[in-house]
Structure 1
Amino acid sequence: MLQQFVKSLTDDRPTFVRRHDDNWVDRLNSRATVILLVAYAVLIGLAQWVRKPISCWFPKNFDIIHREYLHAHCWVSPFYYLPYTEEIPKIEEDNKRRLILYYQWIPWIFMTQAMLFWLPSAIWHWLSERSSLNTEIILDMSQKLNSTKKLDKKEQRLELLTKYFDYFLTQKEDIAIREKYPSGRWLVLSYLFIKMLYITNILFQVWVLGLLLKTDYRKHLINYLNYHYDVNTTADGQVWNSPIFPRIAFCDYLIRDLGNKRRYTAQCVLPLNIYLERMYMILWFWIALLLMLTTADLVIWMLRVIIRADRLHFIWNQLGEASQVSCEEIDERMTSSFLDHYLRQDGGFVLRLIAQNTSAMTSADITGRLYLIWKSRHLNDVIEEVGEI
């Protein structure tokens, strides 16, 4: 899975940034958020490597070797936060320690979050490739058609695309998925499932971050804003030391000396938390925005699937803008039959994706050419039936 994720960032095929078989809300989840989280992981990873991620204060009688050892010990051991008003807890008082479990693992946490945001997109590509309509190929061909300037080349690509589209729309029961979903809804149902998966991922990440950071981030955000916009606290020079992203933490360690155990407590500065706090503030706002946008987008697509009049209106508008279809050729009964018996749910869905990822003229030309292909075949069938009578 990790290898496939890394490959999607660097592959020359139309994947990751170059794929267009989804809409802009999906790309905010699977691309923009992934880029943001990977950038976070790289920045924090470099910061941990270039500078000291932890700096601890020790008793003055410790020599350099002792200090290096204890720095390493504190780095691999959990820190804990303690307000200045409280006494250092005893060894057996573990419940009084607010452990900081994330600090050493932040780059890996960011990368894991990035993979989780990328995963629904990978599942969608896997599902769409197993449909009779391969959205990756059709959308890629539509993008090339949209960018073509020469008329003869454009006509050639339009002809090739519509023949490819028509071939998969007219396949019969030789495909297992078509047998299972004879109404042509495999792609639509898969896409709605992916939308739900995006929302589930967002809610899951919010829940996991709450467990990891041991906080209600909304309360932390309110406290953070109250502090930084309170004139009295900023004027007095008080230092903001959050219990979630503390600048100062403590580390306990035991040293065996001639059969005795000596307990020491080091006070450590965690400089990266200055940046981590702001990074997660940005991420929290971003995730909240993603949740609203993805939920609204899911509702819109569900309504498009349920309401037939909306799908018919879309096809009607596309045919009205198509250059190769005259107004006399657009018949309400024929258009309804074109939608219900030829395009069906999946064909109409792919045309919507084309309209959202290319220009209105390109999607209208594709729809119009498909309409003419279907109408010609339909009239031939009628003529054959009349001849048999």
Structure 2
Amino acid sequence: MQAIARLIDKVKSRDDDDVVDRANYVYSALMFGMFALITMAKQYVGEPLQCWVPPEFKGSWEKYSESYCFVENTYYIKMAEQLPKGPRQQYELQYYQWVGFMMMGQMIFFVLPKAVWNSLHLKTGLAIQSLISTSKLTMKKGQDAMIKDNIEKDMVKASQYMKNLHRFNKDKIDSQSSKPINAKFWNGYITKLYILFKILNLSNSVIQLYVLNQFLGPKYTFFGYGLLMDLLQGKEWEESGHFPRVTYCDVMVRLPGDVKTTYTLQCVLAINMFNEKIYIFIWFWLFLLSVINFLNLCNWLFLVLSEDNAVKFIRTQLAYKNVNLTVEKTKEFMGSYLYLDAVTTLRLVQLNCGDFVSSDLINYLYQDYKPKEEKDSQPEALEEKRPPLITP
């Protein structure tokens, strides 16, 4: 449990992502953690299963039988049907003991993509969270009308991060210039990691939905929807067989004289009343989250693969500061000073801090770029052009 707590602490809500990412590693993880605690408390603190035992079962025998049935599975047969005389394994309910552990596992799988993103992008030495936290501090100070010098110090610190990001990309690309494939890999390394993060989020939600559908509802193509329709149409568990409240359990007892007798006990699984409602909610949550993850991934792919979109973003941000650049001038600025990673990071700043802060930061970067631009315009001071924002 301590290891799980440390993992969650490492991936708690940060500012280096968007709200859809946080819906995965924060909201979904918290939801599954809460459901896991509820079900495990009911199972291991309360009485998840109670059985109607024969009169000769006294005291400890009753407790033993209930514990045995909980561990060894119960099975469900409709009340109107005869109990089969042969093996009854095909009727067994094999999930209810593991619901809490399954939910705990689902919680861990929701935070793993974030752990991968944090681990890989922090190895570059460039902490996007620090940049956005500094930018948020700038925004807060601006709202509180604090001293201008302090605001400028924070903005300079944020712009310095962007310069370090620029230097990181340049050094990596220059060092791999003789290897075109490696150069392309490092041009947009952090952006590719972020897209991988989103692919992992989508894969996780889709796989969990598929496993849930197969594990709990092979009778329905869409388990949660089918179960909800059953409830709305008045089709109770007695008819559908999903999350039955009354089940059976066979307990074999060895009597004196080595006589073996099997008792069939009728048991109440009260916890299935909670499991039914919880899993309907979980199914719809995973379905909706998968759709949102897919749309969010498509949106980010469009943003990072479209140079025209990047140009429009930079021009719009600079226009807030009354800096109006042509499309060509903007492309020169991006091709000579901003790499793909810089534009991606600036988008995250804009999403987390708003246009006021992101436009300020981009304007700082442009003002730092302008002298170089003027120097480059002189024939004797021509400088080698850096790789374009989007590589083929």
TM-score range, shorter chain: 0.7 to 0.9
Question: What amino acid sits opposite 1:215 in the alignment?
Answer: P
Q: How does 1:133-172 map to 2 (within 5 A)?
A: 133-148=126-141, 149=144, 150=146, 151-171=148-168
Deviates more, 1:365-374 or 1:339-348: 339-348
CA 1:178–1:28 in structure 2 vs 1: closer, same or farther (change >3 Å)? farther
Equivalent residue number for residue 121 of structure 1: 114
Q: Is the 8 A contact 2:224 2:284 kept in 1?
A: no
Aligned to 1:372: 367
Pairing 1:340–2:335 present: yes
What residue identity is the alignment partner of 1:48?
A: Q
Q: CA deviation at 1:383?
A: 4.8
Deviates more, 1:363-372 or 1:199-208: 199-208
Q: Could you tell me how far apart the structure 2 residues matched to 1:221 and 1:211 are?
A: 11
Structure 1 unaligned residues grouped into runs of 5+: none
Is this contact kept in 1: 2:237–2:244, CA < 8 A? no
- For the residue of structure 2 that corresponds to 1:343, the secondary structure is coil
Give the conservation status (yes or no) of the 8 Å contact 1:101–1:212: no
Residue aligning to 1:251: 249
Q: Residue 172 of structure 1 contacts residue 178 of structure 1 at CA under 8 Å; is this kept in 2?
A: no
Distance in 2 of aligned mates of 1:152 and 1:240: 72
Q: Which residue of 1 aligns with 2:72?
A: 77
Identity %: 26
2: distance between equivalents of 1:104 and 1:224? Answer: 21
CA deviations on 1:140-182 (whole Å, 9 max, x unpaired) are 2222222223232111100111022112212466559974345
The Cα RMSD (Å) is: 2.6
How many angstroms does 1:333 deviate by? 2.6
Structure 1 residues 383 and 170: alpha-carbon distance in aligned structure 2, compared to 1, 3 A threshold: farther
State the alpha-carbon separation in 1 of the partners of residues 382 and 354 from structure 2: 43
Structure 1 counterpart of 2:372, one-letter code = R
8 Å contact from structure 1 (residues 5, 118) kept in 2: no
Task: Decide whether the 8 Å contact of 1:41 with 1:108 is kept in 2.
Answer: yes
Residues 173 and 187 of structure 2 are in contact (CA less than 8 Å); yes or no, is this contact kept in structure 1?
Answer: no
Rate the CA distance shift 1:4–1:69 in 2: closer, same or farther, 3 A.
closer
Tell me how many residue pairs correspond in the alignment.
Answer: 372
| More divergent stretch after superposition (31-40 vs 241-250) | 241-250
Query: Deviation of residue 215 (structure 1)?
Result: 2.5
Give the whole-Å Cα distance in 2 for the aligned partners of 1:177 and 1:63.
Answer: 81
Deviation at 1:46, TM superposition (A): 1.9
Q: In structure 1, what is the equivalent of residue 200 of structure 2? A: 197
Match of 1:23 among 18, 33, 36: 18
Counterpart mapping for 1:277-292 below 5 A? 277-292=276-291
Q: 1:221 to 1:359 in 2, by over 3 A?
A: closer
Q: Report the CA distance between 1:263 and its aligned residue.
A: 1.1
Distance 2:200 2:382 in 1: 52
CA contact (8 A) 2:36 2:100 kept: yes
Q: TM-score, normalised by structure 1?
A: 0.87
- 2:389 is matched with none
- Residue in 1 that maps onto 2:390: none
Among 201, 204, 209, the alignment partner of 1:206 is: 209
Name the residue aligned to 2:380. 385
Query: What is the CA–CA distance in structure 1 between the aligned matches of 2:382 and 2:335, rounded to whole Å?
Result: 26
| Offset of residue 3 of structure 1 | 5.0
Deviation at 1:281, TM superposition (A): 0.7
What does residue 270 of structure 2 align with?
271
Residue aligning to 2:353: 358
| Compared CA separation, residues 343 and 219, structure 1 to 2 (3 A) | closer
Tell me the distance in 1 between the aligned counterparts of 2:228 and 2:327. 58
Deviation digits for residues 283-324 of structure 1 (CA, Å, limit 9, x no counterpart): 1111111111111111111111222111100010011113xx
Q: 1:362 to 1:226 in 2, by over 3 A?
A: closer
Q: In structure 1, what residue type is equivalent to 2:24? A: N
| TM-superposition CA deviations, 1:47-76 (whole Å, max 9, x none) | 223421110111122212211111111121
CA distance in 1, matches of 2:227, 2:211: 21
Pairing partner for 2:95 from 79, 97, 102: 102
Alignment partners' CA distance in 2, 1:205 and 1:309: 36
Q: Secondary structure at the match of 1:267?
A: strand
With 363-372 and 128-137 compared, the bigger mean Cα shift is at 128-137
1:261 partner SS: strand
| 1-structure distance, mates of 2:267, 2:340 | 61
Higher alpha-carbon deviation: 23-32 or 2-11 = 2-11
1:155 to 1:288, Cα distance in 2 relative to 1, 3 A: same
Contact 2:78 2:238 in 1 (8 A): no
Asked whether the 8 Å contact 1:38–1:110 carries over to 2, the reply is: yes
Q: Which position in structure 1 is the counterpart of 2:296?
A: 297
Instruction: Render the CA deviation track for 1:224-266: whole Å, top value 9, x for unaligned.
Output: 4444334xx58xxx77565231111111121122222211111
After TM superposition, the score normalised by the length of structure 2 is 0.86
Alpha-carbon separation, structure 2, partners of 1:338 and 1:320 = 15
- In structure 2, relative to structure 1, the CA distance for the partners of 1:201 and 1:219 (3 Å cut) is closer
Secondary structure of 2:329's aligned partner:
helix
Q: Which moved more, 1:356-365 or 1:190-199?
A: 190-199
- Deviation at 1:89? 2.2
